[in-house]
Structure formats: structure tokens, C-alpha cells
A and B are shown apart, each in its own frame.
Chain A
Amino acid sequence: MTTTDSPPAPAAPVRRRRSSGDTERGFSRTFRWIATGSGALILATLAAVALFLIVRAWPAMTASSAELADAVPRYPDDTSFLAYVGPLVFGTLLAAVLALLMATPVAMGIALFISHYAPRRLAQVLGYLVDLLAAIPSVVYGLWGIAVLAPAVGPVWLWLNEYLGWFPLFAGGASPTARVLATVSVVLAVMILPIITAVSREVFLQTPKLHEEAALALGATRWEMVRTAVLPFGQSGVISAAMLGLGRALGETMAVLMILSPGFLYSFNILQAAQQQTIAAYIALDFPEASGLAVNALIATGLALFVITLAVNMAARAIVARRKEFSGAN
């Protein structure tokens, strides 16, 4: 582990004027260094993840397309590396965004339900039930998606395809087995519900009582109170909650792997089989059998996923952090 020197942030310099009152002697000082070192280790780990992925992905990113086509199964002939990753990134984004569009309104509803609508004594227990959704392993979601959800939504997809087929997302031939991106997105939406709910619930609960009462005293109904006082206050919190959910959906592997019938196209036909694939599922599917340059290629796609999720998560966390500073005024 030669990378531990990477943390970008220098340790906070001990202020000189503290030194007179500095009571740390002997082991206390050592202990401080151990604790601080652990803090730095977090940064080092993240840096190590990035570094090792880059090192191992490098051979694939620099290899010629002929070499890659030789080594990597399903590598399209005569294309650059970007053209190979492109459809995977597209599929990943499409599945995650669809899941987000389905999950966010429902999650906001649940969050409002727990913060402002449910009987107070029940609210905590009901919140715990929603958290249980997060405790269920993704591989079990995959089993459930195939055994229960796919047969249930299959007819719905056929109907959508038949009557709303003019809408680009519903175009193409609908697959009767429903092993399609639409089904995957529904499962992903269920899986990211808890995180979006939890973060939104926290910000909704922080709405100052003063503002809620102000709205009620003006003769607002409960919904109008929510609209005038709670939602504007929680807006940025909900946005970052949704982005955290997006991050989760982007990296989810097993549910996609088990449900989706994969393809490598830039296709919006979410009801049709063999159209899209996500990065995570692609890696999990091919990695156990891969060797040589194929491993590097897979790690390179993993690096792409890492960069995307890192960007999304950092943006979300930055919004949350900024919010904290502003809400200090309350």
C-alpha cells in the first residue's frame, strides 16, 4: 500500500496558541495520531479504489481495437473503446433515470405521510417498515422480480405496447416474458425508495413549526400548508435525496443481472427484449469467465461506472452540505 500519501487535504495545523494549554501528553498524543490516521485512511481508501481501477483499466484503454476485439467477447469490430462502453453507459443511465422518475414522487409521498400525515404514534413504526425495504438483499429482489413481478407486469407492458406504442419508450415489440428494462426499472425504483424516503423525511421534519403555523393561520388546508411551507423548505433536500437514489440505481447489479435480457444497443424501447445492458450487470455476467485483456476491459467499464456514481454522489452530498450551512439560521 504505497498510496497512503494521497490525501489531498493537509491535516489541520495545530494552532500554536493552543500549545500552552495543551494537556496532551504521552499516549494521548499517540491516540490522537491513530484516530487522525484512520480519518486519513478513508481518503486513502477512496483514492486507492480510483488508482487501482485506473491501473488495471489502463491496458484496455490503450489497446488497439483489433486486440480488444480478439480478447473481449461481444466486442464490436473496428470500434474505439468509447463505442464499446457507450451503449453500456446509455443502458445504465436509462434504467437508473426511469427508476428515479418512478421512485421520487412515491418516496416524497411516503416521506410526507410519515412526517405530516400518519398518526404520530404510528409514524416511527411505519418509517421502520419502509426501511425494511432497504434491508432486503438485492439478489432476493432479483428472484422476486423474475418470479412475481415479471409475470404480473407482462400483460401491462403488452397493453402499453399495443395502445401507446407510438410513444418512443413503448415502441418495438413487447416481450411477453417481461425480462425487459421497464421491469428492471420498477425493481430498481422499489430498491431506491428507502434512501430517498429517509433523506426527504428528515428535511420535511425539520420544517420550522413557525412556518407551518403561519400557513395554517392564513386558512391553508393541510395540503396547502405542505405546499407553501414544507415543500419549499425541503426542496434542495429532496433534490439531493433523489440524486442519492440515482447513485444507488446506477450501481445496482443483481436485480438487473437476473431480470434483464441484455443487448448492446442505443435503444429507448424499454418493453423490448435484448436491447440494453447496464455496466454493473455486464461486469457481473462476464467477469467470472474473463481472462487477460478482457479483465482489463471489464475493469475499465467499472471505472466508468465509478466515475459516474462518484460525480452523482458528490453533487448530491455537496447540496446537502450547503443546505446544512444555510439552515443554521433557523
Chain B
Amino acid sequence: MSADTSTMDSTERTRALLTTAEPRRRRVDRAMTVLIWGAFALAMVPLVSLLWTVLFNGAGRISLEFLSYSMRGIFGGDPSGGIYHAVTGTLIITGWAALVSVPIGILVAIYLVEYGRGALARSVTFFVDVMTGIPSIVAGLFAVSLFTIFFGPGARFGFMGAVALSVLMIPVVVRSCEEMLKLVPNELREASYALGVPKWLTIVRVVLRTSVAGLTTGVLLAVARVIGETAPLLVAVGVTDSINFDAFDGRMMTLPVFIYRQYAQGLATCREGQEGCVADIALQNAWGAALTLIAIVMILNIAGRLVNRWFAPKLR
């Protein structure tokens, strides 16, 4: 009999041990779980709010006319005109920036992955990381300082902005391309060497060919990073209301700068009952341009990720 009761006792004791609600610990755990989910939810608030605001305020302004006319000769509350000059300016300047940054960035990535060792490689890696932290306005000042030495203090043209953007873009290109090149398995390189292919051809034909999808992704994401830059273009390229396709002569408008300028313009003064005058047209223009810019950035982001998903060779 006594054996039975002792079994009962120990079962009860064990039950007590295993179900010990240690309420304080459990409460802390529960509270932290809520806080951590809350942190994520909190971060989504500005994202959702911002995207919705831009869509809501910008969608009404988007029209074929808005996308295909410049602001030349548009004053006050005149609701005509559009962002064509800013879109082309953005594409031209970003295109030049990519043209400068992509070859340099890929070559640096090749250097780091295929050749780099020793002090130079270490300091390049370190300073590429440091360069990603250069404030964009400083890049703009650098471009101005550089070009005004040769072209006089008033020089402002598209390529200056492209150089400023390149300073910001090169480290991003290097970082992402480096990751992609590292993914190429060494066996492929060795197989190529074993066929007697020289190293540079191996890099071009095997390494770059294998990672071309990844490199494209890296470049697209880097373009998306800089296409929304405002401050360096504001100081290095200036503003204009007209279309300008020449990156080497005269000021150019870009979408981000256009947004800022329209915002800074504030309300137009309309007389009572004046025909074709919209008081807050500048703000509407800013929102419309913001929607266009965000659309471009999102398309680049999504395209970048899709390229990698669809075209990347299966390495394993």
C-alpha cells in the first residue's frame, strides 16, 4: 500500500514540476513576443502610409500629357505642362552614371574575387564599405569641386551629376557583384584552366558568363538606389524647365529635383474666378512626379530580382 501512495505522490510532484506555471517568466516571454511582432508592424506603418499617400495624391495627376510635356513656359497655377524633361533628364544622367560605374564596379569586383590578396585588397574591401556611407550631398560637392576647376565656377551640366552619382553607385555595384562572382564554383574555373584557357578568358567566358544574371541584378538594384538621389543633382546639375538631351551642356531637370522644386514653389496665387488656375498645382505636380519616380524604382527592384530568379544558372 505504501508503495502505491509514494508512486501517487511522485506523479503529483512531477506533474507540479512539469506544469509549473512560472507566470513571471512566461509573461516576460509573451510580452517580448508581442513587442517583437509589434516592431515589425510598426515598421510597416510608414511603408504602407507612404505608398498609399503617394498613390492617392499622385494618381490623379498622371496623364499622357503630364508624361509627355515639359514645364517650359508654364507659370503660376497653369495646370498644363508635365515631367517629360525631368524623366528624360533622370534617365540620361542615371544612364551616364551607370556607364561610368558598371565597368569600374565589375572590374573592382573581379579584382577582389579573382586577384585580390594582401594589403591592397584588404584596404579596397574596407574602403568600398566606407564609401557606401559617403553622404550624397558630399558626392555632389565633390563633382562640383572637380568640374568647376576645369569649367569655371558656374559650370552645371548633366555629366557632373552622373559623376556624383557614380561615387555613390560604384561601391554598391562592387559589393553586389562581388557576392555574385563568389557564387561561381571554383570547379568551373579549374575546369577551364585545365583546358588551357588563359586566366583572363576564363574570367570573361566562364566566370562572367555564369554570373551574368546576378550581375544584372546587382546593377539594376544599384541603379534603383541612385535614381532617387536628389541632393547631389540639386547642387551639381541645377534646374531647368526645358528639355535637354545633352549631358555635357547646360542644366538638366531630374525627377527628384523636380519634386523638390515643385514642393518648394508652394501655392500659386489665383484671382477669384480665374479660368484654368489651380492653386495647389505645384504640389499636385510633385505628387505625380513622386508616383512616377516610385514606379520606376519599384520596376527596377522587381526586374532585378526577377532577372536573377529566372536567368540564374543552377549551380548546384
Query: With an 8 A cutoff between CB atoms, is B137 at the interface?
Result: yes
Among B7-15, B210-218, B231-239, the one that faces the other chain is: B231-239
Assuming the A-B contacts A295-B153, A306-B135, are A141 and B229 also in contact, with contact meaning beta carbons closer than 8 angstroms in the complex? no
B135 is contacted by which of A12, A144, A309 (Cβ under 8 Å)?
Answer: A309
Query: With an 8 A cutoff between CB atoms, is A171 at the interface?
Result: no
A309 is contacted by which of B133, B144, B199, B297 (Cβ under 8 Å)?
Answer: B133
Cβ–Cβ < 8 Å partners of B224 in chain A: 135
Which of B36, B144, B234 has the largest number of chain A CB atoms within 10 A? B36
Q: Is the CB of A144 within 8 A of B234?
A: no
Give the interface size bracket for B toward A.
35 or more
A148 is contacted by which of B37, B49, B121 (Cβ under 8 Å)?
Answer: B49
Complexed CA–CA distance, A107 and B36 (Å): 10
A117 is contacted by which of B37, B120, B200, B298 (Cβ under 8 Å)?
Answer: B37
Assuming the A-B contacts A193-B43, A251-B135, are A221 and B29 also in contact, with contact meaning beta carbons closer than 8 angstroms in the complex? yes
Cβ–Cβ < 8 Å partners of A97 in chain B: none
Q: Is the CB of A133 within 8 A of B47?
A: yes
A12 is contacted by which of B46, B120, B131, B239 (Cβ under 8 Å)?
Answer: B120
Q: Is the CB of A40 within 8 A of B115?
A: no
Q: Is the CB of A247 within 8 A of B228?
A: no
Query: With an 8 A cutoff between CB atoms, is A228 at the interface?
Result: no
B263 is contacted by which of A43, A143, A310, A317 (Cβ under 8 Å)?
Answer: A143
Assuming the A-B contacts A36-B111, A42-B108, A42-B131, are A251 and B138 also in contact, with contact meaning beta carbons closer than 8 angstroms in the complex? yes
Cβ–Cβ < 8 Å partners of B238 in chain A: 288
Provide the A167-205 mask, 1 if CB < 8 A to any CB of B, else 0. Answer: 000000000000000000000001001000100000000
Query: With an 8 A cutoff between CB atoms, is A166 at the interface?
Result: no
Cβ–Cβ < 8 Å partners of A298 in chain B: 141
Q: Is the CB of A317 within 8 A of B50?
A: no
Cβ–Cβ < 8 Å partners of A291 in chain B: 153
Q: Is the CB of B53 within 8 A of A148?
A: yes
Cβ–Cβ < 8 Å partners of A165 in chain B: none
Q: Is the CB of B228 within 8 A of A137?
A: yes
Query: With an 8 A cutoff between CB atoms, is B32 at the interface?
Result: yes
Q: Is the CB of B136 within 8 A of A253?
A: yes
Q: Is the CB of A253 within 8 A of B230?
A: yes
Chain A's nearest CB lies how many Å from the CB of B138? 5
Query: With an 8 A cutoff between CB atoms, is A25 at the interface?
Result: yes
B146 is contacted by which of A52, A138, A258, A321 (Cβ under 8 Å)?
Answer: A52
Chain A's nearest CB lies how many Å from the CB of B26? 7
Write the chain A residue with the least CB distance to B106: A38
Q: Is the CB of A46 within 8 A of B294?
A: no
Among A26-34, A77-85, A154-162, the one that faces the other chain is: A26-34
Q: Is the CB of B199 within 8 A of A109?
A: no
Among A2-10, A66-74, A207-215, A260-268, the one that faces the other chain is: A2-10
Cβ–Cβ < 8 Å partners of A242 in chain B: none
Q: Is the CB of B134 within 8 A of A137?
A: no
B50 is contacted by which of A40, A118, A136, A224 (Cβ under 8 Å)?
Answer: A136
Assuming the A-B contacts A35-B107, A138-B230, A254-B260, are A42 and B115 also in contact, with contact meaning beta carbons closer than 8 angstroms in the complex? no
Write the chain A residue with the least CB distance to B46: A190
Q: Is the CB of B50 within 8 A of A53?
A: no
Complexed CA–CA distance, A248 and B132 (Å): 9
Query: With an 8 A cutoff between CB atoms, is A164 at the interface?
Result: no
Provide the A96-117 mask, 1 if CB < 8 A to any CB of B, else 0. Answer: 0000000001111110111001
Q: Is the CB of B229 within 8 A of A137?
A: yes
Query: With an 8 A cutoff between CB atoms, is B28 at the interface?
Result: yes
Provide the B98-135 mask, 1 if CB < 8 A to any CB of A, else 0. Answer: 00000010011011101111111111101111111111
Q: Is the CB of B120 within 8 A of A39?
A: yes
Cβ–Cβ < 8 Å partners of A40 in chain B: 120, 124
Query: With an 8 A cutoff between CB atoms, is A23 at the interface?
Result: yes
Q: Is the CB of B198 within 8 A of A28?
A: yes
Provide the B235-263 mask, 1 if CB < 8 A to any CB of A, else 0. Answer: 10011000000000000000010011001
Write the chain B residue with the least CB distance to A106: B39
Query: With an 8 A cutoff between CB atoms, is A239 at the interface?
Result: no
Provide the B161-176 mask, 1 if CB < 8 A to any CB of A, else 0. Answer: 0000001001100100
Q: Is the CB of A42 within 8 A of B26?
A: no
Chain B's nearest CB lies how many Å from the CB of A93? 14
Q: Is the CB of A139 within 8 A of B119?
A: no
Q: Is the CB of A38 within 8 A of B260?
A: no
Q: Is the CB of B26 within 8 A of A305?
A: no
Which of B134, B136, B256 has the largest number of chain A CB atoms within 10 A? B134
A130 is contacted by which of B32, B43, B146 (Cβ under 8 Å)?
Answer: B43
A-B contact pairs, 29 of them (CB 8 A): A12-B117, A25-B198, A31-B199, A45-B131, A53-B142, A55-B145, A117-B33, A117-B36, A118-B40, A129-B47, A135-B224, A137-B230, A139-B256, A139-B259, A141-B50, A143-B287, A148-B49, A222-B29, A223-B33, A224-B25, A251-B133, A251-B134, A251-B138, A253-B231, A258-B263, A287-B141, A314-B130, A316-B133, A317-B126
The 3 closest A-B pairs by CB, nearest first: A251-B135, A137-B228, A12-B118
Give residues in A with beta carbon < 8 Å to B.
7-13, 23-28, 30-32, 34-36, 38-43, 45-46, 48-49, 52-53, 55-56, 105-110, 112-114, 117-118, 126, 129-130, 132-133, 135-144, 146-149, 190, 193, 197, 221-224, 226, 244, 247-248, 250-254, 257-258, 280, 283-284, 287-288, 291-292, 295, 298-299, 302, 305-306, 309-310, 312-314, 316-318, 320-321
**Given A7-B120, A280-B135, A306-B134, 11 more contacts at CB 8 Å?**
A12-B117, A25-B198, A46-B127, A113-B39, A136-B294, A143-B259, A223-B28, A251-B137, A251-B138, A258-B264, A313-B130
